[in-house]
Amino acid sequence: MRLFKIRGGVHPDDRKQLAAGQEIQDLPMPALLHIPLQQHIGAPASPAVRRGQMVAKGDLLANGQGMISAPVHAPTSGRIMGVGSYPAHHASGLSVPTITLKPDGEDRWADHIQGVEDPFALQPEEIAARVAAAGVVGLGGATFPAAVKLNLRKKYRLHTLVINGAECEPYLTCDDRLMRERSADVLDGIRIMAHALGVERIIIGIENNKPEAQAAMAVAASEYPNIGIARLPTRYPMGSEKHLVQTLIGRETPARGLTADIGVVAHNPATAFAVHEALRYGYPLVSRVVTVSGKAISEPRNVRIPLGTRVQDILDYCGGFKVEPDRLISGGPMMGQPLPSTRVPMVKGSNGILALTAEETNVSEVMPCIRCASCVQACPCGLVPLDMAAHIRVGDLEGAVERGLMDCIGCGSCAYACPGHIPLVQFFNYAKGEMAARGRAKQKQAETKRLAEQRTARMEAIKKAKREAMAKRKREMAAKKKAEAEQKAAAEAAPKAEPAPAEAKAPAETEA
């Protein structure tokens, strides 16, 4: 398959050998599961259970709210211990609404769980509805509700489904192992998604450092002439959706647009596997495969974990730490987030836990920028990171926006290539957050002004209505007084009637 050249990118040591040879293992059920209601982009789910309630595996725990949201289901059978707050799987460590479930050890599926014998006999709308009801979101890390993407056929003219099997982040091997071990199931999910999207062409992109996955998916797809396997060069960030699509079809996605604008929808292999399970068996998304790696880990592994499992439970299953890690990261080392503690639970978007030693993190002293332009050559978006950072340093965030700040995907290629070890990604993330805060403040100010103007207009209308009512009453009173005066004057001017004549007295009786 012909591939097209894209700009930028870097070649970090992938270090996938630590876990790539480890088959997927099922984690023993923990004593408690802490299931956050916010495991996706969009509005958090709303609780549908109460404390003390018994649930079966796959039962609905929380309903999705609005179009961009996803429901949450029970990862196992057991008792609801509470609906409250618990530290989030986020660098902030702030508490978020969470359902705590105590497993009963039976791991019993709910009776209502039922799949479809032939998903290809369903209408696209029904496939999307079932995927939405199963709570399936993008498992590559973005966690965008998968059903929303499956409904893009209503708005865009689509022609290609791209499966993003690049998995370009160092250390991570969960998608690699899933494509190797469950290639037929992954392919079935891919074909179901293509049917829902109404597209004929399917391209599965896999980097060349995963030859076993390439071979397994090629065998699974050999019966289908409309499915191609693209062997991608091993370069970061090949897994960036827009850059992958450009590599495969040779067209660039419009700035701040969607790949659907050029007729392409991209999904992750793990998402395809979740769609397969949701349609064939009726299973909601209650577990996922996670890579546990890094030189500080005693036994790097690929583990299928129930959602809501604490990081500490997973680390214990992998033998704990050989040495105290210098950094604990959720996701990959390039775009992952530091974990605040090992108490936090795993969520749908958690594809890795990395315990890195000081040797691996290689934190060096930050040096001044020498304008060598290494960051410019590495940027896959064609930006000038050193220029944007210079504007951010002096507080000129608008200047950074004019130079493409909002087009930055935060991949970290610039920081990786920088010989001065300048934390460029942190500069850009700070600036994006500050611009977002300013935007919210401006929107709030505009909304406050609008409400104030509405209130002023409303009060003026009330005052005007009162004045008009008062004027009307005055006119009515004046008209009434005038009518009374006219009536009185008319009464006084009318001639008085003469008194009626007295009756004649009877003649006096004559004397006898």
Q: Which residues are annotated as a binding site?
A: 369, 372, 375, 379, 408, 411, 414, 418
R_g over Cα of the chain = 36
Total residues belonging to the chain: 512
Contact (CB, 8 A) for 142 and 349:
yes
Q: Which residues are annotated as a binding site for [4Fe-4S] cluster?
A: 369, 372, 375, 379, 408, 411, 414, 418
The tokens 């068996």 sit on which residue? 281
Give Cα separations from 11 to 14, 68, 82, 156, 417 (angstroms).
8, 35, 47, 35, 10
Q: Which residues of 114-140 are buried (b: 16+ CB within 10 A; e: fewer)?
A: eebeebeebeeeebbebbbbbbbbbbb
Q: Per the structure block, which two tokens stand in for 40?
A: 């996706």
- Do strands 160-165 and 201-207 pair parallel, antiparallel, or not at all (unpaired)? parallel
Cα angle 62, 65, 68 (rounded to 5 degrees) comes to 120
For residues 230 and 232, what is the distance between their CA atoms, to the nearest angstrom? 6
**How remote is the C-alpha of 486 from its chain's centroid?**
79
Strands 201-207 and 264-267: unpaired
Query: Coil, helix or strand for 247?
Result: helix
Q: How far apart are CA 163 and CA 201, in angstroms?
A: 11
Distance (Å, rounded) from C-alpha 347 to C-alpha 165?
20
**∠130-131-137 over CA atoms, to 5°?**
160
